[in-house]
Amino acid sequence: MKAAAFAALSILLLSGRPGQVAAVPETPQEEVQAEAAPQGTPHPDLEGEAGAKCADCHGELLEGAVKHAPAEAGDCETCHAFAGSGEARTVSPAMPLEELCVSCHGDQGAEIGLSSVHGAVRTFGCPGCHNPHSSPNARLLPKTGNALCLECHGGASGERPADAAGKVLLFEKRAVEAAVFDRISKLRLRDDRGHPVGRHPVAAGRDPLRPDAPFGCLSCHTPHGSARKGLLAGAAAGSFCGRCHRK
């Protein structure tokens, strides 16, 4: 996946000021379509194509403990399509990126059809937060828990100086333009508190609604889409805070 796809990590989700939800900048539709369209990448002809194993050359993509099922099975053409031959041979996504993952992951597809959608998903697709081949972590995520969200939304931009090329490195390998990173809304937290208001915790013991899970970002937000503004979890009707803070 080309580096531009990971600019999804720049999309605003939450405001740096407690209690406010940031506006998500709109990306021109023609740019979205251009990014989503399959882009053929030159690929050498395969010898003995019927029995060829992509991992023979691309083994590093499967080094993570958790592997995407098609990749682990060697069914690479579930997600990739080959075309042409000889010097004109290319490989590309099997379908536009906005359709590819949800062609199997229908539940997440339904979520991103709701009224409030994570900007990263809407603009650049799933690779903003998931590795399509393998990862050390469940759900093919580069980090776990709040660390995943705070990779982009935590701390001041000055804590991640840009390199000589003007790039900021996220998740230790994904380069994002410094100007783009500086536009990401940051949560001003202290001792895991400060959002959405004052001393409200963002990490504290067990989730009151999910006793088997720790309290964190996903206690209040959904990562893909929601019927509530700000990716707030739960049904669109009723008091949101009242789900935990009952009188």
Mean pLDDT for the stretch of residues 19-37: 39
Percentage of residues of the chain with pLDDT beyond 90 = 41
Instruction: State if pTM tops 0.95.
Output: no
Instruction: Give me the pLDDT at residue 20, please.
Output: 33
Cα dist. 63→133, 138, 151 in Å? 9, 14, 22
Contacts of 86 by beta carbon, 8 Å cutoff, 6+ apart: 45
Instruction: Give me the pLDDT at residue 247, please.
Output: 64
Instruction: Give me the pLDDT at residue 223, please.
Output: 93
Mean pLDDT for the stretch of residues 148-174: 80
Contacts from 104-110 at CB under 8 Å and sequence distance 24+? Answer: 104/78, 108/224
Mean pLDDT for the stretch of residues 113-141: 88
Mean pLDDT for the stretch of residues 90-101: 90
Instruction: Give me the pLDDT at residue 144, please.
Output: 94
Mean pLDDT for the stretch of residues 147-161: 79
Quote the mean pLDDT of the chain: 79
Measured between alpha carbons, how far is 126 from 169 in angstroms, rounded to an integer? 18
Beta strands in the chain (DSSP E): 41-42, 66-67, 80-83, 90-93, 116-117, 134-135, 167-170, 174-177, 225-226
Query: Is pLDDT larger for residue 37 or for residue 163?
Result: 163
Instruction: Give me the pLDDT at residue 237, please.
Output: 73
pLDDT above 70 (res 188): yes
Q: What count of other Cβ atoms lies within 10 Å of the Cβ of residue 53?
A: 12
Tell me which range, 25-34, 131-140, 174-183, is most confidently predicted by mean pLDDT: 131-140
Mean pLDDT for the stretch of residues 172-200: 85
Q: How confident is the model at residue 34 (pLDDT cuts 50, 70, 90)?
A: very low
Burial of 67 (0-12, 13-18, 19+ CB in 10 A): middle
Contacts of 26 by beta carbon, 8 Å cutoff, 6+ apart: none
pLDDT above 50 (res 7): no
